[in-house]
Amino acid sequence: MPEKTKNISVVRDITVNDHSESYIILAETDFDNYYNNKTHYHSFWELMLFTSGSGTIEINNVRFPIKRGMLCLTTPADFHLHSVGKNESFENYIVQFQTHHLDANVSSELYACSEPIVLYLDEEKYENANRDFAELTTSYEAKGRYYDLETRNRIENICIGIINELSGGSGSPSPSSVIKNAIIYVKNNYRGNITLHSAAEYVGLSDAYFSHIFKTGTGVGFALYVRNMRLNAAANLLKSTDMTVSEICYMVGIDNPDYFSNTFKKYFSIPPREYREKYIRETELHNAD
Q: What is the pLDDT of residue 234?
A: 94
The predicted-structure confidence for 160-178, as pLDDT tens digits, reads as follows 999 999 887 444 445 678 8
Segment 45-52 shows an average pLDDT of 96
The predicted-structure confidence for 78-127, as pLDDT tens digits, reads as follows 888 888 988 899 999 999 998 889 998 899 889 888 889 999 999 999 99
Q: What is the pLDDT of residue 167?
A: 80
**What value does the mean pLDDT of the chain take?**
87
Q: Is residue 102 within 8 Å of 151, Cβ to Cβ? A: no
The closest of 190, 187, 171 to 179, measured between CA atoms, is 187
Segment 212-223 shows an average pLDDT of 93
Q: Is residue 11 within 8 Å of 38, Cβ to Cβ? A: yes
Q: What is the pLDDT of residue 173?
A: 45
Given a cut of 70, is residue 4 above it in pLDDT? no
Q: What is the pLDDT of residue 3?
A: 41
Q: How confident is the model at residue 1 (pLDDT cuts 50, 70, 90)?
A: very low
Q: What is the pLDDT of residue 148?
A: 85
Q: Is residue 56 within 8 Å of 82, Cβ to Cβ? A: yes
Q: How confident is the model at residue 271 (pLDDT cuts 50, 70, 90)?
A: very high
- Kindly list the structural domains of the chain, giving each domain's residue range(s) and its CATH number in brackets, ordered by start: 22-167 (2.60.120.280), 177-288 (1.10.10.60)
Q: What is the pLDDT of residue 14?
A: 53
Q: What is the pLDDT of residue 289?
A: 65
The predicted-structure confidence for 9-43, as pLDDT tens digits, reads as follows 434 455 555 566 788 999 999 888 877 777 888 88
Sign of CA dihedral 123, 129, 133, 136: positive
Given a cut of 60, is residue 48 above it in pLDDT? yes
Question: How much of the chain is helix, strand and coil, in % rounded to 5?
Answer: 50, 20, 35
Segment 259-277 shows an average pLDDT of 96
- Cα dihedral value 242, 247, 250, 256, nearest 10: 130
Count Cβ atoms below 10 Å from residue 239 Cβ, excluding itself.
22
Distance CA 70, CA 118 (A): 7
- Which residues have a Cβ under 8 Å from the Cβ of 213 and sit 6 or more positions away? 176, 178, 179, 205
Q: How confident is the model at residue 223 (pLDDT cuts 50, 70, 90)?
A: very high
The predicted-structure confidence for 138-168, as pLDDT tens digits, reads as follows 998 888 888 888 999 999 999 999 999 988 7
